[in-house]
Amino acid sequence: MTDIFDFENLDELERYMLGQSNVNELRGNLFNQFVEYADYKNVEEWNKAVRISESLAIIGWGDHEPLEALRGMFFNGNPMTYFLNKFGEPRFVDAIWSKRKNGYTMEQGRTSYHSSPDDLNLEETILSDYPAKEDIQDIKLKSQRNWIPKNPVWIERDISNCYENSKEVIDSVKNDLQLELNKQMRPEQYGRDVDRIILSCAFSFFDNDHCKSNYIIAESDRKLSSKKAWTELHKMFSKKEINENGYYLRNRYDFGPFRSDTGKVTTTIHFDKEFSELSHEEQRIKISEYFITALTKIGERIRKRKPSYDFDLLLNDFQEIITKWKEKQQLINS
């Protein structure tokens, strides 16, 4: 059992795990240890929970709810640690760590406990007041390097501002479409190479004279540098028009790089003011087209590096789900 803590290299850990003969027994032992360390009290125990989560991600969690053990960052820069299931729901202990001169510690008032179907004690959720004592350790907080199967398509907003006429559609993307994607996508059948495809939506808005962004979409797909965008924009509009309207020249799609180590890729989709002037039905049609185009182009890029990932099946599933979303919203609003 202690052998898994000897492997710092993820590939070596995977070879070791897949080379074991009695996987069911190993899984049971690992899970029992995971439940113990899921109630971690210091950095060392958290890091052990991470390694066990990585190991279970390799051989599967069996009948238990798969989780990821992740390190993030609080708004003040302090590290956070937490467990998430495939729907992004928290489980077991999460903590905002405090930096001391000689290491990190958990603190009372910054530690929570979230109920889990695999918690044998059936403890209730306790937010921000789960018992924690100072236990300073000068050890790096780790984060899980592999991932569990989950819906790979995640739709986000670049910022929360938008024109009033788009709010209903945007809210439905978040509250209805994303929920159906999480439920109905079939990540186990696509492959293991991609964890998350983030579609970040940047909507035009005009809150007031001092808070505004209206995107002008470039005719060419060639990626614009900031300098080039500024130069081209001034050929299209006067300086006064640019300042009064908050104009910015942008590509419709800004494709980020795919990172094999995290399995993540982010694409920003820019929406012009004209989008918000469409009817809600037209907006749903248009935003669906943008999402499908973005996913298609992302798939073309990733296929060159990860040809075994089934992007065709992913895209077919996405198209079916988003079509049902459009039809359902049309019925609701008719």
- Looking at residue 278, the DSSP 8-state letter turns out to be S
Counting every residue written for the chain, the total comes to 334
CA distance 121 to 113: 12
Which neighbouring-strand residues pair with 98?
A: 105
Question: pLDDT 10s per residue in the chain (334 long)?
Answer: 458 999 999 999 999 999 999 999 999 999 999 999 999 999 999 999 999 999 999 999 999 999 999 999 999 999 999 999 999 999 999 999 999 999 999 999 999 999 999 987 778 899 988 999 999 999 999 999 999 999 999 999 988 999 999 999 999 999 999 999 999 999 999 999 999 999 999 999 999 989 999 999 999 999 999 999 999 999 999 999 999 999 999 999 999 999 999 999 999 999 999 999 999 999 999 999 999 999 999 999 999 998 899 999 999 999 999 999 999 998 988 7
> CB neighbours of 232 closer than 8 A, spacing ≥ 6?
218, 224, 249
| Cβ–Cβ < 8 Å for 223, 178 | no
Whole-structure pTM value? 0.90
| Cβ–Cβ < 8 Å for 206, 274 | no
CA distance 59 to 119: 21
The domain locations on the chain are 2-114, 153-333
Q: How many helices and strands (H and E) does the chain possess?
A: 11, 13
| Cβ–Cβ < 8 Å for 174, 286 | no
